[in-house]
């Protein structure tokens, strides 16, 4: 758990990080090299979950490799709703969401802090405008979340 006090923005007690898989953790199915170390650093403060409809059929393998918890959602027209239901179980007020797709928009909006990644697979316009913050990679997001002053510099009003 980590406490963030962002001037004129809010006070947050964050227990969870909820990550989209494709385009957020992976780029074209590959895990960036520096992510393994950063995940271990993040796990000192947060429970980390990866959520996916498992487009590339790699969810369990990647979750096991990174030693994080996998949340499967069905491939359907209701992916956004399934992700939102999972976020509600975790508690949106105690969760940071990081994603990049249209099906991440609802959870980005409802989370305590929502972050979009404009990585190698891009990001949807809806995810982008729904976010509190936008970063170039998941590694950048993790570095900012580990350095409260960097988060404050971006989000304070």
pTM of the model: 0.96
Has residue 77 got a pLDDT over 90? Answer: no
Query: For residue 16, what are the CA distances in angstroms to 44, 45, 56, 93, 156?
Result: 11, 9, 24, 10, 21
- Give residue-wise pLDDT tens across range 7-44: 999 999 999 999 999 999 998 888 998 999 999 999 99
Separation of alpha carbons 131 and 151, rounded Å: 14
Q: Which two tokens stand for residue 87?
A: 């976020």
pLDDT category at 73 given cuts 50, 70, 90 is very high
102: containing domain: 2-155
Q: Provide the domain count of the chain.
A: 1
Closest CA to 52 of 92, 86, 87, 22: 22
Q: Which of 23 and 92 is assigned the larger pLDDT?
A: 92
Q: According to the model, what pLDDT value does residue 75 have?
A: 86
CB 68 within 8 A of CB 51: no
CA 98 to chain centre: 2
Condensed to tens digits (0 to 9), the pLDDT of residues 100-149 reads 999 999 999 999 999 999 999 999 999 999 999 999 999 999 999 999 99
Is residue 74 a contact partner of residue 64, using CB atoms and an 8 Å limit? no
23/100 Cα distance (integer angstroms): 6
CB atoms within 10 A of CB 70: 17
Output the domain CATH number for residue 82.
3.40.50.1000
């Amino acid at each position: 758990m980590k406490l963030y006090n962002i001037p004129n923005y809010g006070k947050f007690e964050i227990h969870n990080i909820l990550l989209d898989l494709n385009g957020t953790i992976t780029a074209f199915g590959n895990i960036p090299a520096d992510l393994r170390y950063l995940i271990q650093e993040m796990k000192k403060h947060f429970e980390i979950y990866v959520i996916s409809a498992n487009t590339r059929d790699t969810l369990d393998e990647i979750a096991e490799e990174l030693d994080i918890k996998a949340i499967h959602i069905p491939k359907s027209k209701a992916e956004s709703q399934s992700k939102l239901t999972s976020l509600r179980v975790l508690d949106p007020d105690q969760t940071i969401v990081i994603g990049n797709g249209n099906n991440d928009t609802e959870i980005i909006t409802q989370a305590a802090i929502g972050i979009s990644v404009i990585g190698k697979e891009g990001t949807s316009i809806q995810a982008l405008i729904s976010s509190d913050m936008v970063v170039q990679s998941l590694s950048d997001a993790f570095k900012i979340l580990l350095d409260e002053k960097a988060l404050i510099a971006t989000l304070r009003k």
